[in-house]
Structure 1
Amino acid sequence: MSMIPFSRVRLASCAAAALMALGVPAMAETIFTRPLIDFAGDVGISGPERSAIHQGGTAVITAEDMIPGQTVTLMRGTTVLNPAPITVDDKGSFSFTLPIDAEASLGLQPIVVIAENPAAAKVVELRISPDLPLQGAEKFDLTSAPAAPGLYQIVANAAGDAVFVTSAVGWPPVRESRLLRIDPATLKVLAEVAPAPAPATPKGGDGGVYAFYGVAVDNAHGRVWVSNTRQDTVAVYDQSDLKLIKQFEPGTVPHARDIVIDETNGRAYASATGTSGIMVFDTDTLEQLDTIKIASQVRNEDFSSMALDLDEAGGKLVTVSLTTPEAALIELTSGKVRIIPLSGAKAASGVAYDPQEGLIFVASQATDNLLIVKAETGEVLHDVPVGAGPLNVAFDPVGRLAYVANRVSGTIAVVDTKGQLVANLDAGSFPNQLRADGKGNVWAVNKSRGENDEAGDRIWRITPKR
């Protein structure tokens, strides 16, 4: 099969086009056949086995929940990608493998999916990602160990005697979840706790358990905060024995994601993804306070808060929006919220802040890059390709390096403040989240591709060699 050059669009000429130009119907009395009001089904594009799509590789275009018997034509610009129409099978699905030529341009490529019988169309994005070789592992001490199925987030406490990890397995109703206390020296599990059963859903369905996702430590009170994303809430546990201290009611934090703790001022902040809010709690009384609301500067769009990072000494909170190309810098004393446009970011999810140089680091899933932004001016200083599907970023103030978890490419990219790629480390299957401990170490977790995946569900300690 010949390669389709995505780096340029070639105008095609064919007999059918000539007939249409002459006003002669080629195959039917009308081109305006029976339409659908909305496109039926979901279409997705990835590399083989959910891998990244690279220049010279292949893309797999799949669909489900379409109408059996529909025929599908795929187009990039005016070029038809499938030599013959694809027929949706009796389960409403199809799969088509598309070769990508070596000259294809990186980035998001619009693919038009045209269905007939009945007629409908939609545009989906094919993302061609940078393929960066592994490098620089010799510059770091890397230690890894298995922990538990379904790892999500990790954080070390200030005392340096424990690392806390959350895990949750499967889709709702989730019934398997753990909060783990890990020995930071041996990476062995010291203690663990399972969450309590959750109440029924608003529609009366099985609520599963209060599964653990996000995690943060409150060292001033010796506590661990977790987000219960499926129940839209948060909970507080004791660091020493993992005993539940307080379970907040469902609905307290819509789609709770990240939590950060301001020990100086006794505040906990939790991002509510899908909303423009960051929920605030008093860490002394464990009472909820007024919500921080972030207004997008993009017309007719809403800011959707994702990752959080805190400059405790400077009184600043930083977040990014999943739905708009924006970051928000919040002055916690005054409550002032400043929106920073992010040129070159789409589906931003990870953020880190360096108060020393006033830099914001933004990892964006759809654009495969790390932006380094001057917080004071909003200027994008560096736009660094880091791998496929960068999900989260952490900044280590000791080594002065940013670490990016590239979920799709299975790597952790290490970038300095000048935008130079220092290393690209093998991080197994689906690196998910990572945090710096302020002592020169970065802690990371990854997820698995399924049962018996020895490269998945592991915790990592990464330390630059001195």
Structure 2
Amino acid sequence: MSSLNRRVAARAVALAASSTLLLSGTAVAHAGSATAGSATAHVGTAHAGSVHIDTVRTEIADTTTMHTNTPYTSVTPHTGTTPHTGTTRPTGTASSPVPVTSVPLVPGLYQSAYSERNGVLWATASVGQPPAPVTASRLVKVDPRTLKVKATYTPPLDGTGAIEAVYGIDVDDEHNTVWVTNTRNDSIAVYSQKTGAHLATRPNVRHAREIVVDEKRDRVWTTAFGDGAVVAYDSRTYEEVERVTVEGSGPTGLAVNERTGKVYAADFTHNRIIEVTPGSRTPRLIPTGEGPLSIALSADGRTAYTANQSTGSVSIVDLRKGAVTKTVPTGEGAKSLAVEPRSGRVLVVNRLAGNVSVVDARSGAVVRNVATGALPNHVQVTRAGTAFVLDKSGSGPAGEDRLTRIRPGDEASHGRRGHGRSATVA
């Protein structure tokens, strides 16, 4: 085994071993004072005190999967290295190869979000594994054509002197802001897309996981795993406006239907989807696969897809019927997914398999598997169909994690008309 392979294998073992640390002793209970529109759903017999967080499966605490390399200096252009470009042939098909480009970026990569307004890829990165504190964190601004870092921005310190480390991310192009989750600080924060300046931090979101923007309604939603809650903020004032708690739940991934305003959270603890209708105090609970970490919606909003870590699969869920219609095996450690808007195909990050599966949602078949760096963590897809995958391989020359750009839409949507406006990206 090469030294790089030994290092990656050792990292995978260490991350799996440490992944429950962040959640140990964390009770899934609604905390904090009552806020506008707050509601608590008493569903079934599973109450907050009965959930043993230290038994939650590995990778749910994937905010622990950071590196300890020397951090990049804040707001510094990145000279970068020559990207590795090539093509990957799909597994088990005769289709043409997929264009793939991979570059080392920074240590501690976590999630990304693409700004159609600015033509920029934003990424979060944080360094440090519990019980040790975070030693560095940054928002990373990336040119999607060259894959070079344009600038990095360092988060502020919280009231205890800890870095407000950034993890989940989404962009609000209407107000030109970036919203992030500060998972280890139990808060969320807002930054300017124009300057990278920190605009606000909002507390009382225990183990904030993912965050999504509903530009149509000026709302930003986040999942609070530690509270069993889905929380909404006004994207203009940054103030909390709604909180819906399902006692005993563990919401992780999040998606919003901007047509209806409904929000869907993957409940990792109870293998279901939590559907929240704005203004309603009674969430709808929909079954899905085992260990759902991530969720995405079809273009028409009628179908949900969940990445099921425990079974290495994707569940295709009919939201009208409230039932799983297909389960598609993809690969070990299915962790993150996104829908390619032109074709409707679903891209699934398989953490332990080290690849991305492209799933035809209509047939329920995997049409290709595209290799990435080791330990891929998150996938983001633009309106034009370009996918960006962040990994936690630490395989760069200075221990950086990698950014991989994939263009499955070039082949997948050939001869088909796309949804939405096209974005100009490399």
Question: 1:150 touches 1:457 (CA, 8 Å); kept in 2?
Answer: no
* Count of residue pairs the alignment pairs up: 331
Question: 1:155 touches 1:443 (CA, 8 Å); kept in 2?
Answer: no
Question: 2:342 touches 2:409 (CA, 8 Å); kept in 1?
Answer: no
Where does the alignment leave 5 or more consecutive residues of structure 1 unmatched? 1-46, 53-60, 64-122, 127-132, 201-206, 296-301
Q: Is 2:237 the partner of 1:325?
A: no
Q: 1:265 aligns with which of 197, 211, 217?
A: 217
Residue in 2 that maps onto 1:350: 294
Residue in 2 that maps onto 1:22: none
Deviation digits for residues 108-127 of structure 1, max 9, x if unmatched? xxxxxxxxxxxxxxx9999x
- Change beyond 3 A, Cα 1:226–1:124: closer
Distance in 2 between residues matched to 1:362 and 1:191, nearest whole Å = 33
Distance in 1 between residues matched to 2:332 and 2:268, nearest whole Å = 17
Distance in 1 between residues matched to 2:397 and 2:380, nearest whole Å = 26
Secondary structure in 1 aligned to 2:238?
coil
Question: 2:384 touches 2:409 (CA, 8 Å); kept in 1?
Answer: no
Amino acid corresponding to residue 309 of structure 2 in structure 1: Q
Which residues of 2 match residues 148-187 of structure 1 at below 5 A?
148-159=106-117, 161-171=119-129, 172-187=132-147
Amino acid corresponding to residue 154 of structure 1 in structure 2: S
Runs of at least 4 residues off by over 6 Å: 123-126
Amino acid corresponding to residue 337 of structure 2 in structure 1: V
Residue in 2 that maps onto 1:280: 232
Deviation digits for residues 380-435 of structure 1, max 9, x if unmatched? 22111111101111112212110111111111111011211011110111110112
Q: 1:337 aligns with which of 280, 283, 291?
A: 283
Secondary structure in 2 aligned to 1:230?
helix
Amino acid corresponding to residue 198 of structure 1 in structure 2: D
State the 1:224 CA deviation. Answer: 0.4
- Change beyond 3 A, Cα 1:263–1:447: same
State the 1:355 CA deviation. Answer: 4.3
Distance in 2 between residues matched to 1:373 and 1:420, nearest whole Å = 15
Q: Is 2:270 the partner of 1:316?
A: no
Distance in 2 between residues matched to 1:135 and 1:259, nearest whole Å = 35
Question: 2:394 touches 2:402 (CA, 8 Å); kept in 1?
Answer: no
Deviation digits for residues 289-337 of structure 1, max 9, x if unmatched? 2202235xxxxxx211001011112322111111111112222364552
| RCO comparison, higher one (Cα < 8 Å, 6+) | 2
Q: TM-score, normalised by structure 1?
A: 0.66
Question: 1:346 touches 1:367 (CA, 8 Å); kept in 2?
Answer: yes
Larger proportion of helix: 2
- Change beyond 3 A, Cα 1:181–1:401: same
Secondary structure in 1 aligned to 2:240?
coil
Residue in 2 that maps onto 1:460: 405
Q: 2:153 aligns with which of 182, 193, 204?
A: 193
CA RMSD, 1 decimal:
2.8
Distance in 2 between residues matched to 1:456 and 1:395, nearest whole Å = 24
State the 1:457 CA deviation. Answer: 2.9
Residue in 2 that maps onto 1:306: 252
Residue in 1 that maps onto 2:333: 389
Distance in 1 between residues matched to 2:345 and 2:11, nearest whole Å = 29
Amino acid corresponding to residue 181 of structure 1 in structure 2: K
Residue in 1 that maps onto 2:346: 402
Residue in 2 that maps onto 1:444: 389
State the 1:50 CA deviation. Answer: 6.8
State the 1:461 CA deviation. Answer: 4.1
Deviation digits for residues 358-378 of structure 1, max 9, x if unmatched? 111111111111111111112
Residue in 1 that maps onto 2:41: none
Secondary structure in 2 aligned to 1:264?
helix
Secondary structure in 1 aligned to 2:339?
strand
Which residues of 2 match residues 127-138 of structure 1 at below 5 A?
134=91, 138=96
Deviation digits for residues 119-160 of structure 1, max 9, x if unmatched? xxxx9999xxxxxx8456844332222211010000101225
- Change beyond 3 A, Cα 1:453–1:420: farther
Residue in 2 that maps onto 1:129: none
Amino acid corresponding to residue 353 of structure 1 in structure 2: L
Amino acid corresponding to residue 440 of structure 1 in structure 2: G
Distance in 2 between residues matched to 1:431 and 1:215, nearest whole Å = 17
Deviation digits for residues 169-222 of structure 1, max 9, x if unmatched? 11241021110111121111111111122332xxxxxx5311111111011110
Between the two proteins, what is the percent identity of the paired residues? 30
State the 1:464 CA deviation. Answer: 2.1
Residue in 2 that maps onto 1:361: 305
Q: 1:216 aligns with which of 170, 174, 177?
A: 170
- Change beyond 3 A, Cα 1:51–1:175: closer
Question: 1:214 touches 1:259 (CA, 8 Å); kept in 2?
Answer: yes
Which of 372-381 and 327-336 deviates more?
A: 327-336
Q: Is 2:359 the partner of 1:415?
A: yes
Secondary structure in 2 aligned to 1:268?
strand
- Change beyond 3 A, Cα 1:325–1:158: same
Distance in 1 between residues matched to 2:56 and 2:264, nearest whole Å = 31
Deviation digits for residues 231-284 of structure 1, max 9, x if unmatched? 0101111001101111224xx211111110111111110111133201111111
Which residues of 2 match residues 54-73 of structure 1 at below 5 A?
none
Q: Is 2:179 the partner of 1:234?
A: no
Amino acid corresponding to residue 218 of structure 1 in structure 2: D
Which of 450-459 and 326-335 deviates more?
A: 450-459
